Amino acid sequence: MAIRARLIPPQVKRKEWPWHHAKWTSMSASLLMNGDRRFEAENYLANGYGIRLAMEARLAGWTRLDSIASVGQPSRLKGILVSPEYGTPFLAATQVYDVRPVPRKWLALDRTQQASERFVRSGMILVTCSGNVGRATLAYRPHENIIITHDLLRVEPKKNEWWGWIYAYLRSPQARAMMKASQYGHIIKHLETSHLNALPIPVLNDDLRIYFNVKVQKILEMRDHGHRLLLEAEDYFSSCFGALQYADTGEAGFVVRASESFFSGRRRFDALPHNPTAKTIWQHLSNKGKGFTRLGDTGYSVWLPTRFKRIPAEEGVSLVDSSALFEVNPDIVRKIADGDFGDPFRGRVEAKWLLMARSGQIYGLNGTVTMATEAYENMVISDDIIRIAPLKNAKAVREGYLFIVLSHPTLGRPLVKSLAYGSSIPHIEVADVLEFNVVRISQSDENHIADLAERAVALLAQADIIEKTVSSEAQRIIDRFIAGNTSDIINM
């Protein structure tokens, strides 16, 4: 009898159980009667559960979070989508963490239940309660007057003196671990208000509470100030060209001459580069500006590392994914084995380099630009990020001005997005970025815009650094509390 060819070697039948060892422990039944809604076994085996037991074992010096803060959550959102001119912008949970949140949906406010509860004020603490649960952030100026998803818990101190410490505590790795040990769900994890209410939190003395309030207030002020400077830079850039008026073709489509498409020098016959909106913007910049300079001639090198393997390594180098670059103080926990990564800078970047997302959907990250800071200099940046680095003693355009040219919401980003090709996952080529025309204005105006943009980026980076500092300080305080060294930090 013929034997069919196999794609894999014949499997040897096993008589024992060698595949893995179950992670298990025995527990007292009384531990299951503390109010948890579900018997999620994995949570009782998590590190966060051990931290919680250690904190609750202390006889004094701690309290439940609900005794000093109110944790709320709006009901599940059921909104009616409308066009931007008639609706109120809406942000999903992941968008709230973007440095520059860009709404993609608009809801009819008068048809949205509990609409007033879905807005947040500057300084409110927000915590993810679905998916990657337990990530805390501060609402600031870009979040105001926008409907925020119900997938973010709202945490507000009952007394303002606790605000800074509560935020630092929720940013600490111990609090994050405890929240993850309280989550439930098999596929998509969830966190309830009751889980946050039950968290044990050390009761700090007055001096430390004041210290954390000052630090967190500084974070908020820096982010608000940085956002204002970015808006000021964009507004000044717009004012150099006057008002722009163009008609959105929507789904009606458009027609271009065959000679413009077939003989334009592009590798693919994509319609996006020829859309009327991009043409109108180019014409507007041509009429009002002082000419163009090819980006490759402005004193910048543009390249993309080759695709590299991501080999997990606990003692390796931190890997920054594309999405993390455009978030406020992102979680960077992935480490990979170090190497050259097919890049002259071994995958690293330097401060003031411009970084452009080169793949994804055009309504998402694709074409988004950010400016690197010192925080990323010792990390490997994803190979899906195009590097735009100034050449020494050769740049004709300052980094801050080029950043605004490429990222301006109406005069820059639409032009960068028009470079994308592909239907399923659009991509942007380095060659097209090199050919991008940078509009020029007077030198004084370019310098003014660059000053504003570079100061804004520096402020946002400094805010992230302070936030990491308070998180580390909260971590040390919790460690000392668990160890019993609390005489100088705890109000007994």
Indicate whether 301 and 364 sit together in one domain.
yes
Does this model's pTM top 0.85? My answer is: yes
Contact criterion met (CB below 8 Å) for 56 and 62:
yes
Q: Are 67 and 183 members of one domain?
A: yes
Length of the chain in residues, anyone?
492
Q: What gap in Å lies between CA 23 and CA 45, rounded to an integer?
A: 8
Helix axis angle, 173-180 to 443-483, nearest 10° = 70
In terms of DSSP H, where are the helices of 240-337?
258-262, 276-288
Using one digit for the tens of pLDDT, what is the confidence trace for 195-245? 999 999 999 999 999 999 999 999 999 999 999 999 999 999 999 998 887
164: pLDDT confidence band, cut at 50, 70 and 90?
A: very high
Same domain, residue pair 189 and 338: no
Q: What is the pLDDT of residue 25?
A: 67
Same domain flag for 252 and 180: no
Same domain? 214 vs 249 = no
Token pair 């808006």 is at which residue? 231
pLDDT higher than 90, residue 184 = no
Residue 172: is it exposed, middle or buried by C-beta count within 10 angstroms (0-12/13-18/19+)?
A: buried
Is residue 53 located within the same domain as residue 172?
yes
> Is the model's pLDDT at 186 over the cut of 80?
no
Same domain for 142 and 264:
no
What tokens does 378 get? 């010792």
pLDDT tens string 138-155: 999 999 999 999 999 999
The mean pLDDT value for 335-356 works out to 93
Predicted pLDDT at 264: 61
Q: Which domain holds residue 269?
A: 244-440
Residue 163 pLDDT exceeds 60: yes
**Does pLDDT of 5 surpass 70?**
no
**233 closest CA partner among 401, 411, 440, 414:** 401
- On whether residue 228 sits in a domain, the answer given is no
How many domains are contained in the chain? 2
Q: Token match 């945490």: residue?
A: 155
* 105/205 same-domain check: yes
CATH of the domain at 73: 3.90.220.20
**216 and 249 fall within a common domain:** no
Do 60 and 160 lie in a common domain?
A: yes
